[in-house]
Amino acid sequence: MPTGTFAAATLAHQCLPSEGSDCTPPSFSSGTTLSSAALEVCIGLDVAFSLPLPRATDGSSTAGAVEFRRLERETFFYENVFGVLARRQPGQGLPFVLTLLQLVCCVWVVVHVYFVDFAAVERLLRFRDFNTWFKPLKGEKGDSKWWVIAIPLIQFGLGSSIVAVSCCITCACTSGFDAVMNSLAFTFISTVAEVFNQPLLSYYARLPIANLDPEMYGTEPIYYLVASYDANNSYGIEKWARSWYVRQEDAVAGLLTDFEIRHCPDDYPQHSRKLIEVLRVLFFCVPILALAACCVIFGAD
């Protein structure tokens, strides 16, 4: 069941006024026999509503009322993945169509997050390999700080967490509408960062760096980011060694923008290639393991 909902059972209790406190034995609406302790707890609950019984036409019985009490138990979403609680009752369980819809919604979210978050992680790692090789060619010191790899790994962890929680909640829904709405919500959550990133990138693409030495950098403004391609950013292939940026027609390695590079991956070592493959396999295993863990751990209770 979705988080915040309850597993409810209704207790029918018939009482006849003429008999004083004598009442018919309580019955459980689902057909399950309650223990004496459970019956005692149920009888102590407040009456949800009562229905009057019609008097028999032959006058052989006295009119009374049936009292209904409601017993509720909180069920967290991870306790009911694929309806493990419903399957404990004979003849109960989720419809096949609902289970199929849950799986479709899970695949939907996983694929979306893969092409947004995981693709961004892969680009960051590949750019680091390129930058480690490219900077010494421009006379700059190579970057040896491997702790910066924590930045893409944190993004990978967030994306994997979104996928795992989304699949568990979606597969715990007891209605198709809830499953679809949950998957839509997590799809939106995975794109929230893009909403804030674009204005920030646009701002720094228009903001010039202040207090630069004019003799070294000239008088033309130099911006923090080069977000769009401009051939004037390059000094030309003749001065390639002095230019970080290249033109589209130049068959040399370099930056087209700060987010797009021209390179040949086979020309330099790619230290992150194995890490990317491991993360890719782990990304698709996370939702499967999360669903299996919920079914095994809580389904065995």
Rounded percentage of the chain residues whose pLDDT exceeds 70: 74
Q: Which helix (H) or strand (E) holds 31?
A: none
The answer to whether residue 140 scores a pLDDT higher than 70 is: yes
209 or 58: which carries more pLDDT confidence?
209
Who has greater pLDDT, 148 or 108?
A: 108
What residues does each domain of the chain span? Answer: 6-75, 96-204+269-299
pLDDT at residue 104, rounded to an integer? 92
Q: Closest Cα to residue 138, out of 265, 10, 239, 34?
A: 239
Q: In this predicted model, what pLDDT tens digit does every residue of 220-265 receive, in sequence order?
A: 888 888 888 888 888 777 777 778 888 888 888 888 888 888 888 8
Confidence band, pLDDT 50/70/90 cuts, at residue 284? very high
Could you give the angle at the alpha carbon of 126 between the alpha carbons of 123 and 132, nearest 5°?
A: 135
Residue that is written with structure tokens 């630069």 in the block: 212
pLDDT, residue 149, reads 86
Band (pLDDT 50/70/90 cuts) for residue 13 is very low
Q: Where are the beta strands (DSSP E) in 39-98?
A: 47-52, 65-74
Q: What is the pLDDT of residues 16-35, one digit of tens each?
A: 343 444 444 444 444 456 66
Q: What span, in angstroms and rounded, lies between the C-alpha atoms of 179 and 166? A: 10
Q: What is the pLDDT of residue 161?
A: 92
Contact assessment for residue 133 and residue 256, using Cβ atoms and an 8 Å cutoff: no
